[in-house]
A and B are shown apart, each in its own frame.
Chain A
Amino acid sequence: NAGVTQTPKFQVLKTGQSMTLQCAQDMNHNSMYWYRQDPGMGLRLIYYSASEGTTDKGEVPNGYNVSRLNKREFSLRLESAAPSQTSVYFCASRDKLLLNTEAFFGQGTRLTVV
């Protein structure tokens, strides 16, 4: 049981380049999330998808787009990367049909924009 799988694990981009971070979960969860972790800022929610077919902005959505491709997959796209987007990105999933459950996280993607 793989849980939440993120690819790639590491990436270096030049300013202005685009890329998509992939996330897949095999737990049949309804809700999926993208967070970024920066020193002193904790885990900040970028976008989330409460259920298949819906997406909503979190605290820091600017510069990002998401796609809930199907129930398993939730991708995060940077259209034109900026140095301020250098961060560690985490994807998470949660079974929201069961009230009050925990979210499971992937291992993270460390992104550097130069």
Chain B
Amino acid sequence: DQQVKQNSPSLSVQEGRISILNCDYTNSMFDYFLWYKKYPAEGPTFLISISSIKDKNEDGRFTVFLNKSAKHLSLHIVPSQPGDSAVYFCAASGDGGTSYGKLTFGQGTILTVHP
């Protein structure tokens, strides 16, 4: 049962354009969502997060949008740069019931930004 899903395995964009990465979740107990970036041969690094009480959070070129009714979140990168090329994972956590402390990840999306 994949509770966090990233249905696009890969995304290719031109430098300077917008990159939009999507993520869907099924567990309504999730109340905190995160995006991570991963380069080859390195551990994932935290990028940006959003609490379920918000619908948008911005940090420089990165913006995360949350649509709770649709159980959907997205990460926007504007403008995209070649150094943004990496695997992006979304993750979710929630403290309800048996989920206390659990952090669940999606399958990842490979972003390639072409110069």
Please report A residues at the B interface, Cβ cutoff 8 Å. 4, 31, 33, 35, 40-45, 48-51, 56, 58-59, 90, 92, 94, 96, 100, 102-108
**Of residues A42, A50, A58, which shows the largest number of chain B Cβ atoms within 10 Å of its Cβ?**
A42
The 9 A-B pairs at the shortest CB distance, nearest first, are namely: A50-B101, A105-B43, A42-B107, A43-B105, A102-B46, A100-B32, A42-B108, A105-B44, A31-B101
Chain B: CB-nearest residue to A50? B101
User: Per-residue CB proximity of B26-58 to A under 8 Å, as 1/0?
Assistant: 000001101010000111111001010000000
The reply to whether A102 and B104 contact each other, CB–CB distance below 8 Å, is no
Determine if B17 is an interface residue (Cβ-Cβ < 8 Å). Answer: no
Chain B: CB-nearest residue to A35? B105
Q: In the assembled complex, which residues on chain A have CB atoms less than 8 Å from the CB atom of B108?
A: 42-43
Determine the main DSSP class of A at the interface with B: strand
Please report B residues at the A interface, Cβ cutoff 8 Å. 6, 9, 31-32, 34, 36, 41-46, 49, 51, 89, 91, 93, 98, 100-108
The reply to whether B89 and A43 contact each other, CB–CB distance below 8 Å, is yes
Q: In the assembled complex, which residues on chain B have CB atoms less than 8 Å from the CB atom of A42?
A: 6, 89, 105-108
